[in-house]
Amino acid sequence: MTGSNTYKDIHERLVRYLAGEDSAEERSETERLIRTHETVRGYFEDIRRIWHSAAIAGRHPQPDMEAAWRKFEKATASGMISIPLWSRMWVRVAAVMLILIMSAAGVWYFRSVQHREVIVSTAPEERQTVSMPDGSLVTLNGRTTLNYPKRFTREVRHVQLEGEGFFEVTADEERPFIINAGDLKITVLGTRLNVKAYSAEKETEVTVASGRVSVTAGQKEVILNADEKAVFDRTLGSLTSTVNRDANYLAWKTRKLVFRDTSLGEIVTQLNRIYPGQEVMISDSVARCRMTATFDDLPLEQIIEVIRMTFDLEVTREADRITITGKGC
């Protein structure tokens, strides 16, 4: 190792390496240093453990300062790492300060990189597809906010969702993909799933289209496979899993609605969810009528017209409201 590699230089190089901020050339050189120098390798393992704990568990472990100082002292005395000619006391203070910074912030530089967040928000009638740093895709429903780091760490891929989104997660067995959605923590390796987590609604839902997913709420955990869903009730604090029987859970994304002997009341509820620009109202007598139909990416007005003609109903329109009335069934 050359004399230009001071303790601070090595520390910053290892930080950039773990955070994915280095160039290909620098990464190659860092890996060579880790392989060929036992002191550097040991120090690298120490800070990687701190980073891993801070990134995944959210905890900041307390380091053994005396042990760290002895390691630092031994490395500098052997000539493995050169330092400026400060007084011995100042060197010790500087080393301890570095350790304290790492402990208090989970390695400050690491976390500062991790917290360079991208925030994407959608309007009520907007749909948007976002490409993640790892190639995963997230399609956002209206009134949704997605937070994610500009670069994922080497240990974990972590995002936060408020609203609704469909995730197509790129497989990576070494780095779990973690979605925080309100009270839920959703962990996947590679899968397709829908997360519905509007803070104004009583329930949060996770529906798996393919793959396998872990959903936790506090100490409760359920494992979901394809065509299963989890429901978390915020009021009761309950987390349950069941087979998904809602054929329209992705209709907000695909604009395809499938109804099989479904009441008009339920159909109207679905329409209001998929087409938020106008509110559809229906009288109680008509709401009990049942219908079987498939609407594939049709405008709301066409769907309303099909319903009107099928049951010979009356439709009135005023401002942003559509009202359906009639004699009933």
What span, in angstroms and rounded, lies between the C-alpha atoms of 53 and 14? Answer: 17
In degrees and rounded to multiples of 5, residue 111 shows phi and psi of -70, -30
The fold of 255-325 is Phage tail protein beta-alpha-beta fold (3.55.50)
CATH code matching the domain that covers 116-243, chosen among 1.10.357.10, 3.90.198.10, 2.60.120.1440, 1.10.3720.10: 2.60.120.1440
From start to end of 89-149, where are the E strands? 117-121, 128-131, 137-140, 145-149
Three-state DSSP at 256 gives strand
Q: Note the pLDDT of residue 40.
A: 78
Sign of the torsion formed by the C-alpha atoms of 152, 153, 154 and 160: negative
Give CA angle at 177 (257, 15), nearest 5°.
Answer: 150
Q: Which residue type sits at 221?
A: E
Name the token pair of 325: 């009335």
Q: Give the neighbor-by-neighbor strand order of the sheet with 279-282.
A: 279-282, 321-325, 314-318
Higher pLDDT, 39 or 198: 198
Assess contact for 320 and 281: CB atoms under 8 A.
no
CB atoms within 10 A of CB 35: 10
Question: Tens digits of per-residue pLDDT, 174-226?
Answer: 899 999 999 999 999 889 999 999 999 999 999 999 999 999 999 999 999 99
Q: What is the tally of helices (H) and strands (E) in the chain?
A: 10, 18
pTM value?
A: 0.65
Question: Tens digits of per-residue pLDDT, 3-24?
Answer: 445 566 777 788 777 777 777 7
pLDDT band at 242 (very low <50, low <70, confident <90, very high): very high
Question: Tens digits of per-residue pLDDT, 111-149?
Answer: 444 457 899 999 988 999 999 999 999 999 999 999 999
Q: Which residue type sits at 166?
A: F
What span, in angstroms and rounded, lies between the C-alpha atoms of 185 and 183? Answer: 7
Mean residue pLDDT of the chain comes to 82
Kindly give, in sequence order, each residue whose CB lies less than 8 Å from that of residue 274, ignoring residues fewer than 6 positions away.
Answer: 248, 251, 252, 255, 257
Cα separations in angstroms, 118 against 30, 107, 123, 161: 28, 21, 17, 12
